Amino acid sequence: MKKVTILGAGNVGTNCALFIAEKNVADVTLIDVKPGYAAGKALDLMESGPIRDYDVVIQGSEDLYDLVYSDVVVVAAGKVREPGMSREDVLEDNVKVVDSFVKEIAKFAPNAVVIVVTEPVDAMTYYVLKKTGFPSSQVVGMAGVLDAARAGEIIARQLQVAPTDVEACFIGGHHDEMIFLPQYSRVSGIPVTELLSSEEIAQVREEVKDAGHQILERMKRGTAFYAPAASTARMVETIIRERHRILSAPVYATGEYGLRDVCIGLPILLDKMGVRRIVELKLTDEQKEALNKSAEALRSTQEKLASRIKEMAS
């Protein structure tokens, strides 16, 4: 059985473990710094197995050595936003959290594909990539899958169709500059551009952009976790079971779409090796401009992180 290790046994990490288990994808190890916390969550999940029909092994630990033999590592640890906070407001706290275990990922799980969920996901994907020294194919963020899922629910609601029949495509950063690609979004194979007006298409983007904030404002404490966990589990399944799916995710650009040295959401082919390749789609001039604008919004933060890494190494 393959092994997935999830760093952080909070709401996202625990539900990700549940979704992976329910698909019988892999054994799961939850790691959390709180003594006994991950072990307690793991035991509770194991006791759900006879009812939910899964028989994978779920373990909990505080020891980073338990990263060994991981095929996939999910980085879900970190501070979550509170009402009134942006994703960037948790950057400094979450850099410190990631610093507490990122070297151990490289040491104990050098061949694992790493999926970064910690906010802000584009910047943290860049940071994990640079700190581990892994090939860019081995580190990928979770965001485009979540944005597509949110869009799928919105489009299904607009058209009164089954959400499972909707495939949506987003690129760009997981922030206000995210870009909806309606020409590559479909309902049962029919392009969304044939089914929705330009006003309705614009509404989809605005609702997706605001989705996390809306959940945060309603919950008051904590933020979205079911959909992010489900999105992460889908990526894990794609890797472990070699599904060879094309989806959007924050990855390191090396010239694709004219972008370099920035982690940003782009269409990728994901398989057991991680990012097999970045898929270059034909974009409109407006979409190209929006993608460049999104990249510039991300680049300044990521350049600061790169400078910090160099200072720490010197």
* Residues forming the active site: 174
Show Cβ contacts of residue 225 under 8 Å, excluding neighbours closer than 6 positions.
10, 11, 12, 15
Structure-token pair, residue 250: 């924050």
Asked if residues 182 and 196 have their Cβ atoms less than 8 Å apart, the reply is: yes
Rounded CA-CA distance 188/124 in Å is 35
Selection from 6, 44, 7, 10 nearest residue 28 by Cα? 6
Helix, strand, or coil here: 218? helix
Structure-token pair, residue 98: 């990631």
CA-angle at 7, arms to 113 and 65, nearest 5°: 85
Please provide residue 22's backbone torsions phi and psi, each rounded to the nearest 5 degrees.
-65, -20
Rounded CA-CA distance 168/170 in Å is 7
List the alpha helices (DSSP H) in 69-135.
91-99, 102-108, 121-132
Please provide residue 187's backbone torsions phi and psi, each rounded to the nearest 5 degrees.
-120, 110
Report CA Rg, the chain: 19
Burial of 244 (0-12, 13-18, 19+ CB in 10 A): exposed
Rounded CA-CA distance 58/145 in Å is 25
Q: From the CB of residue 304, how many other CB atoms can be counted at a distance below 10 Å?
A: 12
Rounded to whole angstroms, what are the CA distances from 286 to 119, 181, 212, 256, 289?
A: 28, 11, 25, 17, 5
